[in-house]
Amino acid sequence: MPNLTRNFTGATVGSGKPRILVVGLGNVSHPGTRHSVGQQIVEALANHLGTTMTYDRSVNSWIAFATTTMRTRTPRNKKGKSSYIEGSEQEVELVMVKPKPLMNISGPAVSKAYKAHIRPAPLASTVIVIHDSLAHKTLQTSIKRGGSAGGHNGVRSAVDALGSPDFARIRVGIGAHRGDAATYVLENMSGTERSYWSSTEACEKILLDIETLVSDSAET
């Protein structure tokens, strides 16, 4: 088994496992809405990994810990087509976080969780925020490493509180809407969406996105 910190560069726990913070954004007061899909996903992910989220006053969030096995993935480009070379398997510890504050002011809770469980490891390889995206189709995800908040107030709050935009994101498609976006994101997801984002298939998709993001050479 290779050095566990060689390929996955997260913070390490006593066992030497890399540790990754996975934050689901949303409004606890509005479960099941499009804006809260990130929180639904981290809850489903915790259940999928055999654990449950419990409230931790010190970070003002619900939190769960789980160990899972991930495979390093090195990007390869052949004849203009991107693919990946699968590498060695390594155990990592996921710290799943569901902030209690409302979406637009959730950043301080994210920062507290980072300081409590991840720091001094760098944001880029240790923090992943899952949030809704109007720019992507429903039932789809898109990964992003750092950059602007893209108009998303929850992401902006995290950027402000962490003092950097360098953390990774998994953008969860909720579909475009021509009407008032603020109203649309606070409406309930369809039954199909709610069912899907709690499914084993969706959890495996999210784990694959996490795996890609935390590999040293992940292509975003």
Query: Is pLDDT of 92 > 90?
Result: yes
Question: Nearest Cα to 27, choosing from 94, 95, 109?
Answer: 109
Return the pLDDT at 13. Answer: 57
48 is catalytic: no
What structural domains does the chain harbor?
Answer: 4-214 (3.40.50.1470)
pLDDT band at 17 (very low <50, low <70, confident <90, very high): confident
Band the pLDDT of 3: cuts 50, 70, 90: very low
Read off the pLDDT band of 215 (50, 70, 90). confident
The per-residue pLDDT for range 73-85, each reduced to its tens digit, is 665 555 544 455 5
- Position 93: which residue type? E
Q: Which of 30, 35, 136, 152 is catalytic?
A: 35
Average pLDDT, the chain: 88
The answer, yes or no, to whether residue 217 has pLDDT greater than 60, is no
The whole-angstrom separation of Cα 132 and Cα 126 is: 20
Residues 6+ apart with CB under 8 A from 150: 133, 135
Higher pLDDT, 97 or 76: 97
Q: What confidence tens digit (pLDDT) does each residue in 98-142 have?
A: 999 999 999 999 999 999 999 888 888 899 999 999 999 999 999
Alpha-carbon 87 to chain mean position: 22
Per-residue pLDDT of 4-15, as tens digits, reads: 333 555 565 556
Query: For residue 45, which of 192, 206, 212, 190 has the smallest C-alpha distance?
Result: 206
Higher local confidence (pLDDT), 111 or 18? 111
CB 62 within 8 A of CB 100: yes
Listing DSSP states for 69-132 in one string gives: EEEEEEEEEETTEEEEEEEEEEEEEEEEEEESS-GGG-HHHHHHHHHHHTTTS-GGGTEEEEEE
pLDDT bin (cut points 50, 70, 90) of residue 89 is confident
Residue 219 has pLDDT above 50, yes or no: no
Nearest CA to 146 among 131, 163, 164? Answer: 164
The whole-number pLDDT of residue 186 equals 95
> CB atoms < 10 A from the CB of 13, how many?
15
Burial of 82 per CB tally in 10 Å (0-12, 13-18, 19+): exposed
